[in-house]
Amino acid sequence: MDRVKKILNRWSTDQLITGIEFKDWFAMLAKNDFKVSPAYFHRAAWITGWSLPSTIFGRIEDAMYGRSLAAMEAKPTPIFLLGHWRSGTTHLHNCVGRDPNHTFSTVFQVVFPTCFLSTEKFLPDLTGGLLTDTRSYDNVKNGWHEAAEDEIALSKLHGLSPYISFMFPESAAQYEKYIDFQEATEAERKKWKDTLLYFIKKMMVSTGGKRVVVKSCTHSARIPMLLELFPDAKFVHIHRHPYEVFASTLHMRSHTDWENFFQIPEENYKYQRREQTALIGQRVYERLVEDRKLIPEGNFIELQYEDFVGNEVEVLRDMYAQFEMPDWEEYEPILQEYLDGLKGYKRNKLEITDELKDYVYDRWRVVFDTYGYSRDYP
C-alpha cells in the first residue's frame, strides 16, 4: 500500500507517549516489531531521551512511596466521568475537579506517571516552555497543571490501550480489545485494574488524600472493571448529538494522529481513521448502554451536553444533592469564578454533510435509539 506523500506536523513534540520508562518503551517497540518510519526516527529519539530520566526518577519514586502506596486505600472512592470524546467531558472534568475536596490528573501527571511525585516541585517550571497555550485541536487551555485524561498515563504504565494504535497504525487491530477488554485475558484485566488503582493512589498522595475525579472516555466501556475496584463509586455520563461528536472527533484526530504517528500512514488513512473512529465509538456506546445498569441506583447520573453548558451551576447543584457530596457552599463561588473565565470561548465550527449523517446514523444507531437524538440535524 502506498503511503501519503505529505507529512503533517512532522516535528511536533506533543507525543502522548512522552515520559514512558525505557523498559516499557522498548516493550512497546518490540510489540510493534520496531517498525518506526525513518521520517519519525527523531520522535523515537525524543521518546527515548525522556525515557531515561523518567526511569531514573521512577525507580527513586518507587523506593520512596512503593510500600505506602501498596498499603493505602483509595478512600474516598473516585468519581468517574464517562462519555465519548468531544461530548463535553473535559468541561465537566474541569468543573467538578475544581471542588477544593477533589483533585484530577494533570497534564504533568499523565506525562510523567511514574515520577511526578518526586519531580512536580521543579520539573514543570523548567519545562513550561514546551507546551502551547491551548490544545492543538480546540481552544481549551493547556498547561502542566490543567486537567488531562488518565488514559494517557495508563497507556505508558501498562501498554494496554487503544491509544497506542494511533501511534502504530499498521498494528492497530491488536489494540482494539483494549477498548472494553471483552477479549482481553484475565491477566491483562488484572494488570489494567492494578495500574489504575496505583495511579489513583499516587494522585491522592500528591494532594493529601483528596477524592480523585477520573475522566477518560475509554472508561465508558469499562464499567464492570471499575465497579470491581470501586463498588460504591459515583458515575456521571455526559452525551451530545452523535453527528457533532463524530465530526468533532475527526477534527481532533486530524491533529492528534499526525502528532503521534511513528509510522507514515497509508494513502487511504482518512478512510481508515473514520472507520476506526466509528468502531471505537460503537464499542464504547454499546458497552456503556449495556453496563450502566450494573451501577447501583443513586450512583449514576446522565447529562445532555446542551442541558449542561450554560446551566453548570444548577446541574452540578443537583448532582451534589443526589450524591450527597459535601461543601457545596464553598465550591459554588469557585465554580462560578471558573465559568466566568470561560466567557468568550469559541467552539470549533464543524462540517456535517448529509453523507456523514447517514454514516454516523448507521454506525451509531444505539445512541440515537437510547437517548432520543433526531436523525434530522440541526
Domain-wise residue ranges, the chain: 22-371
pLDDT reported for residue 126: 85
Is there a contact between 259 and 14 (Cβ–Cβ < 8 Å)? yes
Task: Give the pLDDT score at 200.
Answer: 98
For the sheet with 300-304, list strands across it.
Answer: 102-104, 211-215, 79-82, 234-239, 300-304
pLDDT score for 133: 73
Alpha-carbon dihedral of residues 119, 134, 335, 83, nearest 10 degrees?
A: -90
Per-residue confidence (pLDDT) for residue 236, from 0 to 100:
98
Which residues, other chains included, contact 94 with Cβ-Cβ below 8 Å and sequence gap of 6+?
A: 146, 147, 338
pTM: 0.94
pLDDT at res. 345: 62
Q: Determine the 3-state secondary structure of 235 from DSSP.
A: strand
pLDDT tens string 349-375 = 888 999 999 999 999 999 999 999 999
Q: What gap in Å lies between CA 34 and CA 122, rounded to an integer? A: 34
Distance CA 108, CA 112 (A): 6
Q: Which CATH number fits domain 22-371: 3.40.50.300, 3.30.43.10, 3.90.1010.10, 3.40.1160.10?
A: 3.40.50.300
User: CB atoms < 10 A from the CB of 61, how many?
Assistant: 19
**Which regions of the chain does DSSP assign to beta strands (E)?**
79-82, 102-104, 211-215, 234-239, 300-304
- SS3 of residue 38 by DSSP: helix
pLDDT tens for each residue of 90-142: 999 999 999 999 999 999 999 999 999 999 989 988 887 777 777 767 777 77
Q: For the chain, which ranges sit under pLDDT 70?
A: 1, 136, 345
